[in-house]
Copies of this chain bind each other. A is one copy, B any other.
């Protein structure tokens, strides 16, 4: 929270972080959630089974396939996707409640989800694409285990390259050379976007009082 928040009141924003896997996005997201009290993680609905340790409503909303399809038909999702045999989606209601209260919501989604959100709610979306600093760096991070075959690593690299090809659809680009610099960069983006005129929903009244000499 900065002081402008207190005086004027603002609408929250949807912060989307996307990147090829291996570019360090998950570590950046974790740090942001720890260090920014106004930011919360979006909780997806999914049709896949709950795994040991996962908490309903915190890790996911676990729903059956019929319920998920009803939610699709009712247009309750900001974005959804089928990944192999399971569906994943972001229910719009909870996100809009957060934004209306001036809280920001973080999304860790790919370019397809980002496009769906952009189509639905462009004015609330702030999109950031994280790039690896070099192919060598990416390859190093994608080689998870020493026994990974050259083919497996090559397939991951090809997938990363496909994802990277969508960087033009994002507002901001961060090359993740250093996690601390990258976290600071995303925080600056959040600070700046919160100061955008359009998000300061109490401005009209604030300026009216100011000009009336109150």
| A135-166 contacts to B (CB < 8 Å) | 135, 138, 157, 161, 164-165
CA A203 – CA B177 in complex, angstroms?
A: 15
Knowing A192-B189, A213-B135 touch, does A167 contact B8 (C-beta < 8 A)? no
B207 with A175: CB separation less than 8 A: no
A12 at the interface (CB under 8 A from B): no
Stretch at the interface among A28-36, A102-110, A194-202: A194-202
**Copies of the protein in its oligomer:** 2
Chain B residue at smallest Cβ distance from A129? B197
A193 at the interface (CB under 8 A from B): yes
B189 with A195: CB separation less than 8 A: yes
Query: Which of B172, B175, B195, B212 makes the CB contact (< 8 A) with A8?
Result: B175
B185 with A197: CB separation less than 8 A: no
Chain B residue at smallest Cβ distance from A165? B211
A210 with B134: CB separation less than 8 A: yes
CA A187 – CA B178 in complex, angstroms?
A: 20
**Residues of chain B lying within 8 A (CB to CB) of residue A197:** 129, 167-168, 170-173
A196 with B172: CB separation less than 8 A: yes
CA A188 – CA B170 in complex, angstroms?
A: 19
B195 with A185: CB separation less than 8 A: yes
A112 at the interface (CB under 8 A from B): no
CA A164 – CA B73 in complex, angstroms?
A: 47
A41 at the interface (CB under 8 A from B): no
CA A163 – CA B135 in complex, angstroms?
A: 51
CA A167 – CA B196 in complex, angstroms?
A: 12
Query: Which of B157, B167, B192, B203 makes the CB contact (< 8 A) with A203?
Result: B167
B181 with A3: CB separation less than 8 A: yes
Shortest beta-carbon contacts, A-B, top 6? A192-B192, A188-B191, A188-B188, A189-B192, A161-B211, A172-B195
